[in-house]
Amino acid sequence: MAVEIGPSPEMYLKSLFELTRGHAPVPISALAERLGHSVVSATEMVHRLERRGLVAHEPYRGARLTSDGATHARTLLRRHRLWERFLTDELNLPWESVHDLACQLEHAVGEEVTEALDRRLGIPATCPHGNPIPRSGPTPAASARTLADMKPGEHAELEAVHPESGPVLAYLAQHGLRPGAAFSLESIEPTDGLRVIGVSSTRVAFGPELAARLRVRPASGPGRGGGARGDERRA
């Protein structure tokens, strides 16, 4: 069991999982873009994964994880997020850089280490970027609402950065924005749909694509002022 699989196929499974919205297949071009590969290469890989029974490919529509594939992807994501927690909580590495670091570590460990790590970390509920750590049992539904869905004047709190990536996290870190931060949407610029938000006396702008990657929830308290405040470790 556990089906030997290399780092590269694993990245595909993970990306596929992350890019999946609802029940729709993910266009291969989207996959390719996320991984920085050519579309042809991505198609090749999808075929390889299909032969292994991990993804189902609907021609001209996209690829979807089979349940085997989804299981595998979930454990990968689990490892990834646990490592992220380890790197921030135990090694005190910067919030915005642990994503890329964890991308290496996730392929280097099996179940043994993963579970031990989970216990060691106190069975955390989310990664440092606000995403839930998959465990046995259904994953708690993440809020579907993002910054892109908000209307000017609304107040909210950053819940998570969903498809994570180095550059995105760097941008957020640069402006002191972290899960838990309260903010308000000040305006949506007519040109390019730029979202300008106010976070503790600063203004930060986000393009529509980035905005769609910022999951939000109604501001919890009157917001204890904070910009760069932490993230919750429990659900």
Compute the least distance from the CB of residue 97 to a second copy, in Å. Answer: 8
Residue from 13, 62, 168, 199 touching DNA (CB under 7 A): that is 62
Compute the least distance from the CB of residue 47 to a second copy, in Å. Answer: 25
Ranges of beta strands (E only) in 98-232 are 155-161, 182-188, 195-199, 202-206, 214-217
Residue from 1, 2, 4, 6 touching DNA (CB under 7 A): that is 6
CB 211 within 8 A of CB 147: yes
Residue from 18, 19, 20, 27 touching DNA (CB under 7 A): that is 27
What whole-number distance in Å separates Cα of residue 27 and Cα of residue 152?
32
Q: Which stretch binds DNA (CB under 7 A): 13-21, 42-50, 162-170, 226-234?
A: 42-50
CB 175 within 8 A of CB 158: no
Compute the least distance from the CB of residue 171 to DNA, in Å. Answer: 24
Tell how many helices (H) and how many strands (E) occur in the chain.
Answer: 8, 7
CA 215 to chain centre: 10
Compute the least distance from the CB of residue 35 to DNA, in Å. Answer: 7
Under rule CB under 7 A, residue 104 binds DNA: no
What whole-number distance in Å separates Cα of residue 108 and Cα of residue 110?
7
- Which one of a second copy, DNA, none is in contact with 101 (Cβ closer than 5 to 8 A by kind)? a second copy
Under rule CB under 7 A, residue 139 binds DNA: no
What whole-number distance in Å separates Cα of residue 24 and Cα of residue 62?
8
What whole-number distance in Å separates Cα of residue 197 and Cα of residue 205?
6
Amino acid (one-letter) located at 129: H
- Which one of a second copy, DNA, none is in contact with 59 (Cβ closer than 5 to 8 A by kind)? DNA
Q: Would you say 47 or 203 has its CB closer to DNA?
A: 47
Footprint of DNA (CB under 7 A):
6, 8-9, 11, 27-29, 36-41, 43-45, 47-48, 57, 59-62
